[in-house]
Amino acid sequence: MPALAAYQAAGRLIETQSEFRGIAARVRAEAIRRIWEAADGRMTLTQLGAILGVSKARAGELLKSAVPLAEEDPELVEPQPVVAAIVTSPLGVLVGRRNDGKPPWTFIAGEIEPGESPADAAVREVKEETGLLVSQGRIIGRRVHPKTGRTMIYMSAKPTHGTEVFVGDEDELAEVRWASLAEADELMQPYGMFEPVHKYLARTLR
């Protein structure tokens, strides 16, 4: 009997903890919803993440959970386009190795935030993920990525203050480095490099 009572008590404790976790999640979701709505479209996911003490990617996940109504905010259901910065220098083209492997290696890329231009997003993502300051160039091309299914916008960029890079977003990237066109070609397998980007790099990295 003592053992049965202990099991029952443990079960009640687990149920109580689950209830508290559920309450905490609802309170957090309500707080996130109010912060986002109070900003009235003037807050980026990066800024929300700084307030919450989480990464930009995690802030996006929490926001989607906190504001689930598609009819009120369709942008949270239909993903924003992703900009890929094709950053070139005498050292090659800048690439990053993703932690989730989807795909394993990419150009420095990220979601365009509401109200943000592709050019501004490219400059911001490169700074956040590699510490590198760049100036945007032109849009090289657009496509739906064969692995992720996301709309991609590829934009050229050049460093403005040196070429030293580091992993600025450890949640997303495991490594960032400069690569030659041949190295980038190999790293981008099995999906391959977008043909307009390949042609641009072939002209630029001579």
Q: Does residue 37 sit in helix, strand or coil?
A: helix
- Please check the confidence at residue 205 and state whether its pLDDT lies above 50: yes
Residue 153: is it exposed, middle or buried by C-beta count within 10 angstroms (0-12/13-18/19+)? Answer: buried
Q: In the prediction, which pLDDT does 2 show?
A: 60
Averaged pLDDT, 177-195: 91
Query: What residue ranges do the domains of the chain occupy?
Result: 2-76, 82-204
82-204 fold: Nucleoside Triphosphate Pyrophosphohydrolase (3.90.79)
| Mean pLDDT within 24-36 | 74
Contact 124, 118 (CB under 8 A): no
Over residues 39-77, the pLDDT tens digits come to: 766 677 777 878 888 777 777 777 777 665 434 444 444
The model's pTM is 0.66
Q: Is 149 left (phi over 0), alpha (psi -120 to 50) or beta?
A: left
pLDDT of residue 69: 44
pLDDT band, residue 35 (cuts 50/70/90): confident
At residue 22, the pLDDT reads: 55
Q: What is the mean pLDDT of the chain?
A: 82
